[in-house]
């Protein structure tokens, strides 16, 4: 199998699900730190009242307020939504230049560098960004998750599990990444013969936050490595099953706009433009107030 094609299939698995745990960490960081007084980093005027801002509007904000780190954070998030990870990394880099003390920008930068990497699951610049994030805020959940992934990739499975347990102890029940984090601990423990069941049952977590949204379950770093080693036909089956699972969840919860964007991106990556177009129609029908954003991002993805 050609390395580029293998990277594409494995990258699709990551794009569909794994980033959900980590992207959700941004919103939780705001909520968990009394974010009611913080401004929404994506609060940009939209041409449709009540609809999320378009990518063009967010880009315009960075031009009119280039020294606002929240503008660059919003741009990076929007570019990540449409799979433009290298561009997202550049946006976050600009954000760290004007907001050097922002842990969320550094951990977002690290994630974007991971997603944009063509030859390494944990490139050195990404690792450096995660380390910078935890130096600023030792509680940053996304950076902590990825730093544990780095330990696991280096073969220190016990150390990675210890770090994930520490993150779980700081994770309120129902947080967007909790279920996936528990699954990561369970599966990495099972693969490496490390007992974790009793520790998972005994772990004490803080009180839940009333505004925590539901998560979309997804694979962990160990699953990603296993997927990369599968024969092409098994990789294809795994991806198809995951995308079908996402589609089923959206039918049950059609108000998840980000989920529809992930589904469109997945269908286009699989070479299924007709199904991507059908997903766009279903998304707009279920979320008429978000049509402007859905149409803009569908166009960026090449959805017919």
For the chain, 304 residues long, give each residue's pLDDT as a single digit of tens. Answer: 444 444 444 444 433 444 444 433 333 343 333 333 333 434 444 444 334 567 888 899 999 999 999 899 889 988 887 778 899 999 999 999 999 999 999 999 998 998 888 888 889 999 999 999 999 999 998 899 899 989 988 889 999 999 999 999 998 887 767 877 888 888 888 888 999 999 999 998 887 544 333 333 445 455 555 555 556 566 566 666 677 777 877 877 788 787 788 788 777 767 788 888 999 999 999 888 888 888 888 887 788 8
Q: Are 290 and 52 in contact (CB under 8 A)?
A: yes
Q: Are 204 and 239 in contact (CB under 8 A)?
A: no
* pLDDT at residue 32 in the model: 38
- Residue 37 tokens read as 């007084």
Q: How far apart are CA 265 and CA 268, in angstroms?
A: 5
Q: pLDDT tens-digit profile of 85-143? A: 899 999 999 999 999 999 999 999 998 998 888 888 889 999 999 999 999 999 998 89
Question: What number of other Cβ atoms are within 10 A of residue 196's Cβ?
Answer: 19
* pLDDT at residue 5 in the model: 44
Q: How far apart are CA 254 and CA 283, in angstroms?
A: 7
Q: How far apart are CA 12 and CA 19, in angstroms?
A: 11
Q: How far apart are CA 40 and CA 74, in angstroms?
A: 9
Q: How far apart are CA 138 and CA 34, in angstroms?
A: 17
* pLDDT at residue 267 in the model: 79
CA angle centred on 150, ends 148 and 154, rounded to 5°: 115
pTM: 0.59
Q: Look at residue 194 and give its three-state secondary structure.
A: coil
């Amino acid at each position: 199998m050609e390395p580029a094609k293998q990277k594409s299939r494995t990258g699709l698995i990551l794009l569909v699900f794994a980033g959900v745990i980590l992207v959700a960490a941004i919103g939780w960081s705001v909520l968990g730190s009394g974010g009611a007084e913080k401004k929404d980093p994506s609060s940009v005027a939209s041409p449709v009242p009540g609809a999320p801002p378009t990518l063009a509007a967010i880009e315009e904000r960075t031009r009119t307020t280039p020294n606002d780190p929240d503008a660059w954070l919003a741009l990076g998030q929007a570019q990540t939504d449409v799979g433009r990870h290298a561009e997202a990394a550049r946006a976050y880099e600009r954000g760290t230049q004007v907001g050097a003390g922002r842990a969320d920008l550094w951990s977002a930068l690290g994630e974007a560098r991971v997603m944009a990497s063509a030859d390494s699951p944990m490139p050195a610049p990404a690792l450096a960004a995660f380390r910078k994030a935890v130096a600023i805020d030792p509680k940053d959940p996304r950076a902590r998750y990825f730093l544990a992934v780095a330990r696991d990739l280096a073969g220190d499975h016990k150390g990675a599990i210890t770090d994930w347990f520490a993150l779980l102890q700081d994770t309120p029940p129902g947080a967007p990444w909790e279920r996936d984090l528990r699954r990561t601990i369970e599966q990495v423990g099972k693969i490496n013969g490390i007992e974790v069941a009793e520790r998972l049952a005994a772990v004490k977590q803080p009180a839940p936050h009333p505004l925590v949204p539901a998560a979309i379950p997804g694979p962990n770093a160990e699953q990603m490595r296993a997927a990369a080693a599968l024969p092409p036909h098994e990789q294809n089956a795994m991806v198809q099953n995951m995308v079908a699972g996402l589609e089923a969840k959206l039918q049950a919860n059609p108000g998840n706009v980000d989920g529809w964007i992930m589904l469109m991106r997945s269908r286009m990556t699989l070479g299924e433009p007709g199904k991507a177009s059908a997903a766009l129609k279903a998304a707009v029908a279920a979320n008429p107030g978000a049509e402007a954003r859905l149409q803009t991002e569908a166009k960026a993805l090449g959805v017919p």
